[in-house]
Amino acid sequence: MAETRLYKYEPDYVVRPGEVLEENLETRGIKKVDLAQRCGLSTKTISQILNGSAPVSPETALCFQRVLGVSANVWNNLEANYRLFLARQKVREDLVQWDDWTKRFPTKELAERGLIDPKSVIVETTEQLLDFFGVGSVQAWDAKYGVLQVAFRCSPSFKSSRESVSAWLRIGEICADKVNCTSYSKTKLMTSLSKIRGLTAEDPSVFEPIMRRLCAEAGVALVFVSELPGTHLSGATRWMSKDKALIMLSLRRKRDDHFWFSFFHEAGHILFGGKKNIFLDEMNSWTDPEEELANDFASYTLIPRDRYREFLERGEYTITSVRRFAEKQGIAPGIVVGRLQHEGIIPWNALNGLTRKFELVEACN
């Protein structure tokens, strides 16, 4: 997911204001004591400015302008650049202690996506990560991402990396910021979901742009972001603001039944979950009430409860019967197959010819 990024020129050396001042004094044959008298300053203060231990204040810059003929703006800019350089050096020295933190992130993959600038010096990578997350320090990152309120749905055999998950979520945030949405409306979302359900038998080239547009019209940014190493996520849901929600799908599983169930599951969290939580589709117990509600919503939105029960009562699970039932419900047959397999009604290797595998384009408008 490459994007155009601006790289600032940040040299590892900056001219100290005192160096420029010293050159001007030598050129003009002015001694420190004379400059001090003309500016109403002590000789000690001039000496400190020369060696960089004292700043050039705006008032002093105006004095230098009058005495030396060098614009006050020049002195102010020299001082600002010098102090910023010192501050950056101090911050970089402090960041050295966070090398282990930096190494826990999938920096190689983030660099490949053009999200950070690959660096050979680890402290520079640490700075890149802070820029990527939009935080001023590692402590600030920990405050924002370290105590995520999460709910998981998938297999407890997976174990996600907190750092990888936070990076994946941040990509989603960046993508969602680019999606223009109307204010969230539950009624509009329900209408959009009904229309999206009718697209499950279509190819990705057809349903992908339509479902993203329909979600945006309901106040939901839908983004597709492939997983990072250590995430093991199928999807996630969160609120960007009180009027804008985000659904992320990782494209982790390529079968249509997994894709559609994950989408409607996440949509269920938007409709019925709290706005303060982040729901990650991974590790939590199936007994979690909010997860069960989202599971039921996905299951019975895709295949209505009564019609599914009638289908089971017939007890016929053939290619013809499943395809006919799916066509009658207006959904892809792979969704029916996935449901039957998940509930143990048919083996995992049965009727897989009715499922579809597809590659979705990673979308970050």
Identify whether the C-beta of residue 5 lies closer than 8 Å to the C-beta of residue 114: yes
> How crowded is the C-beta side of 246, counted as CA atoms within 13 Å?
28
At residue 303, the pLDDT reads: 97
At residue 271, the pLDDT reads: 96
At residue 6, the pLDDT reads: 41
Superfamily of domain 17-95: lambda repressor-like DNA-binding domains (1.10.260.40)
- Looking at the chain, the domain(s) classified CATH 1.10.260.40 span 17-95
Identify whether the C-beta of residue 39 lies closer than 8 Å to the C-beta of residue 70: no
At residue 365, the pLDDT reads: 57
| Pairwise CA distance, residues 253 & 329, whole Å | 24
pLDDT 10s digit of each residue in the chain, 365 long?
444 444 454 556 789 999 999 999 999 999 999 999 999 999 999 999 999 999 999 999 999 999 999 999 999 999 999 999 999 999 999 999 999 999 999 999 999 999 998 777 899 999 999 999 999 999 999 888 765 544 444 445 456 788 998 999 999 999 999 999 999 999 999 999 999 999 999 999 999 999 999 999 999 999 999 889 988 888 999 999 999 999 999 877 679 999 999 999 999 999 998 888 888 876 444 557 888 899 999 999 999 999 999 999 999 999 999 999 999 999 999 999 999 999 999 999 999 999 998 877 776 65
Please choose, from the candidates 186, 173, 216, the residue with its C-alpha nearest in 3D space to the C-alpha of residue 297.
186
At residue 245, the pLDDT reads: 97
Identify whether the C-beta of residue 177 lies closer than 8 Å to the C-beta of residue 184: no
Contacts 24+ apart (CB under 8 A), 37-41: 38/63, 38/67, 39/63, 39/64, 39/67
Burial of 332 (0-12, 13-18, 19+ CB in 10 A): buried
At residue 215, the pLDDT reads: 98
